[in-house]
Amino acid sequence: MDRRAFLQLSGISLASVALPQWSLAQVKTDIEYHYKLTAEPSSAELIPGFQTSVLTFNGNIPAPVIRARQGKPVRIEFTNKLNEPTTIHWHGLRIPIEMDGVPFLSQPPVMPGETFVYEFTPPDAGTFWYHPHMNSTVQLGKGLVGAFVVDEAEPVDFDIDEVLILKHWHLDKKGEWKALTRPRYAARMGTPGEWGTANGIHDPQFSYPAGSRVRLRIANVDNTMTYNLRMKGTDAQVIAIDGNPVSSPYPLDQHKIGPGMRLDIGLIMPDEGQHVALEYLLGKFGFPVAGFTATAQTGDIHSELPSLPINPVPVPDLDTAETINFVFEWEGAISPTDEAGNTHPVFWLINRRAWEGMSKDNIPEPVADLTLGHSYIFELRNNTQYHHPIHLHGHTFLVLEMDGKPVTPFHTDTVLLGKNGRAKAAFVADNPGSWMYHCHVIEHMKTGLMGYVRVS
Ligand code: C2O
Ligand code: CU
Ligand code: CU
């Protein structure tokens, strides 16, 4: 069976089975969630009829979905089969710093041929993802992006549980690579790819039984794009943002996810033969992400979605919380040149500082020094006209305000600041270590919009 057929069937055949979808070699040992993962060059048919050389996990696009359970240990034996160093970061998981997968701040780079064992116990359930934290424009841009699903400690009763990882590839019509980054775009919204896919396929089509309860776990693993998502053909509910269940689900109208962000939506399949489409909007126009057709009813016709338990994220003490301001700005196109003659353009600043070209000898002071156990409110201010999804490692924010207006507080690891946008996000600094704090538009991160906070 080819990958397309397999994906079309996956919704039915793998419904509510806690097994990795897509090819991941699960190893039988003393711990239940034990995986072997490689990063390796391979080729894939992204544009139908053409092969593209890509970078993959376990040889495959899409990468295997790593499936874990809340509160249960996971072990991932990672082997670097690339010809350059790398590390793997588990985006959104609140785990110890040694496992965070950031070169120099949390571990030495994993050199070609080396194996590093990542082992941790996810405290939160939800939709997360994994990716390298080195040479990210290329390593992520060429395919090293995968979903990491943590099932709830107590199983939740959806009939269908589907992962959709969204990515635009920088390819021409024949599957040849175009530039992953262009300075004039890096200094603006970032360089977009041309070929839109979900799970490596343009507009994949799924079939699910009429009346079944569907959970779609959507992850934006793109380097650049913000997807403004909407659902056509049925009412869908927003059930989790960035992996974290919302306190009360609400109807999905339009919802923007920037690079690195996720959205879980719940829906009940309509009557047999009816079609539901997930789209993203650019201006007024809708572009396809994936489609879902209702097939004959196989179980009950449901009218309600199961509810998700809130994650055990520590509750910030807003009375004692210290407020720290962060301003994100643009700095003209200054291009310092190093001794080797390479230019490192710097376009973006956090509180008037840029950090580009992370290396062993280029670790600046943290942008904030936080006291372990204290609560903080980060006041974020985007003084630019471009979107910035601001991501903090090792902690989960509770967003209190967006653009000066109170919101129903929600948990997230990445806050999307729109044009001149603002946000107030609180959290407890309960995880000791040096934690990356950066824009997830990869070219923004690479050209300055990156820092770290130290919790001690
Ligand atoms: Cu997706 Cu620094 O992370
Ligand atoms: Cu992260
Ligand atoms: Cu940015």
Task: Write out the DSSP string of 273-298.
Answer: T-EEEEEEEETTEEEEEEEEEEE---
**For residues 412-425, average pLDDT:** 97
Retrieve residue 38's tokens: 């490689």
pTM more than 0.85: yes
In the chain, the percentage of residues whose pLDDT exceeds 90 is 79
| Dist. CA 414–CA 388, nearest whole Å | 9
Contact (Cβ atoms closer than 8 angstroms) between residue 396 and residue 364: no
Residue nearest to atom 2 of ligand 1 (CA): 436
**Cα-Cα end-to-end distance for the chain:** 52
Q: Which pairing describes strands 74-80 and 115-120: parallel, antiparallel, or unpaired?
A: antiparallel
Cα–Cα distance, 99 to 229 (Å, whole number): 32
The residues, any chain, with a CB within 8 Å of residue 162's CB and separated by 6 or more, are 10, 11, 206, 214, 215, 216, 217
Provide the Cα torsion 249, 218, 150, 269; round to 10°: 60
Q: Per DSSP, which regions of 92-232 are E strands? A: 115-120, 126-132, 146-151, 160-169, 195-198, 205-209, 213-220, 227-232
Which residue's alpha carbon is at the smallest distance from atom 3 of ligand 1?
91
Whether the predicted pLDDT of 344 surpasses 80? no
Q: Which residues have CB under 8 Å from 361's CB, separation 6+?
A: none
Distance of CA 403 from the midpoint of ligand 3 (Å):
17
Q: Residues with Cβ within 6 A of ligand 1?
A: 89, 91, 131, 133, 260, 391, 393, 436, 438, 440
Q: Which is the closest atom of ligand 1 to the Cα of 91?
A: 1
60-119 pLDDT, tens digit per residue, is 999 999 999 999 999 999 999 999 999 999 999 999 999 999 999 999 999 999 999 999
Confidence class for position 23, pLDDT limits 50, 70, 90: very low
Q: Whose CA is nearest to atom 1 of ligand 1?
A: 91
pLDDT at 393 over 80: yes
Strand partners of residue 120 = 74
- CA of residue 413 to ligand 2 center, whole Å: 8
Q: Which pLDDT value is given to residue 252?
A: 98
